[in-house]
Every structure is written in structure tokens, then in C-alpha cells.
Amino acid sequence: MSAANILIIEDDADIREGVRILLESEDYSVQEAERGRTGLALLTPETDLVILDVMMPGMSGLKTCEEIRKTSNVPVLFLTAKSQESDKLIGLMAGGDDYLAKPFSYSELLGRVKALIRRYQTYRGKEEVSPSEGTSSCIESGGIRINENYNEVSADGRELALSDIDYNILLLLMKNPHRIFSAQNIFEEIWNEPFFYTSTGTVMVHIRNLRVKIEKDPQNPAHIKTVWGKGYRFE
């Protein structure tokens, strides 16, 4: 697997420097920006992770993330001084993949970075599968189609841009149609981390994002159903 490219967008020079030194010690390639617009100009298809401060002068981190999502599914790790669950959900709804409250330990940051990059490089197929290698592996139901060889998703023939977490949640549900997955089931399967009650909101936000993208009427979903008090299932 290729070395990862990380973009840090953070207005605090001390935090930027500390994070850069840590990541470079792990052989990551790092670019830095102190403003949202400057960071957007540095974003390329080769970027594997964006570490993004929420509170920045000018374009906020939330707005920067929304702009990133218009062109890229690169994972975004938010850094913020706020630690309430509502703040975390706002970040996820803006398109973020994970959230780390300041002050944070470098070991915790490094753990989040490695997990996000590992999922993204697997999802994006950094080591490409050529058309001649093996057979096509596709799942299709109700107009939703996943090509696992290329990690491509379409709805009624329209190609969809999903984050790696949203893709893996959809893949899990479609591989197990009609099976009910609780928020805890989904979180432990996709994040591969211990579940806490506050993680329920994180799963709910990603389910909401999926419905917006795959359902004709997200308020009355035909595919990802909520089984009240139990969880979610794909039909």
C-alpha cells in the first residue's frame, strides 16, 4: 500500500507544527495550510486525509468541509475545542468522518489517522484491480448497485459519490438484506472500535447521509428502513 498524503488545515501554528512533526515521523507526506481557502487549493486526488480545524477565521472548518465534499470523498478528521455530542454531529453532517476534541494526545490522533487512511485506501482501491483480474463482484437490489471490484455505487444508473464509511455501511446492509442491524452492530463492524451510547448519533448521521443520496424520498425511504427500537435493515 502506498505512502499516505495528509493535508493539515489549522490556523494555530503550534498545533500545525506538532501534528506535522508527528506525522512525518511516521513517514507520511504532509502539507499545511492556515486557512480554509488555502487548504482547498492544496487538495488533490492524491490526498488521503484532511485534518481540519473547525474554528478558523474566514472560511470555517465546517464550510471548508462542505466545499471539499463537492469534489472529493477524502476522509476528514475534525479538530475542535468543543467536545459536546451535538458539535460532533454537526461536523459529521457537514461531511466529516471523525472528530477529535482538543486537547488530544498524539497517540489518539495517530490512531485515528491510521484508521481513516486504512479504510480510505482500501475503499478507493489504491492498488487497482484491472478488468482482467477475477470476475465482477456486484450486488444489486431495487435499483441500487455496488461493484465491489471498483468500489462504485449507483442508483438507477446514476453514479453516487459516497464517503468510505457510508460505502461500507451500505455494503454491510446490502450483503445482509432484511437483517436488522442495531447502531451498535453497525458501529462495531464499520469503525472496529468499542461502542458507547453517544456513538448512536454518529451512526444515525451516516444513515441520514446515505438516505439523502440513494433514496428518491429520503423522508420515506424505500431501501434503508428503520426498525424502531431495534435498528436498520435494507429492503
**Mean pLDDT, the chain, whole residue set:** 86
What's this model's pTM, rounded to 2 decimal places?
0.69
Contact indicator for 94, 114 with CB cutoff of 8 Å: no
Bond prior to 103 in cis (omega within 30° of 0):
yes
Sorted by where each starts, the structural domains of the chain and their CATH numbers stand as: 5-124 (3.40.50.2300), 138-234 (1.10.10.10)
CA-to-CA distance for 21 and 130, rounded, in angstroms? 37
Tell me what pLDDT residue 108 has: 87
* Grid cell for residue 223: 431501501
pLDDT level of residue 134 (50, 70, 90 thresholds): very low
* Residue 100 grid cell: 477529535
Banded model confidence at residue 34, pLDDT cuts 50, 70, 90: very high
CA dihedral for 204, 208, 211, 213, sign (positive or negative)? negative
**Residue-wise pLDDT tens digits, 146-167:** 988 777 899 988 888 787 788 8
Higher pLDDT, 220 or 84: 220
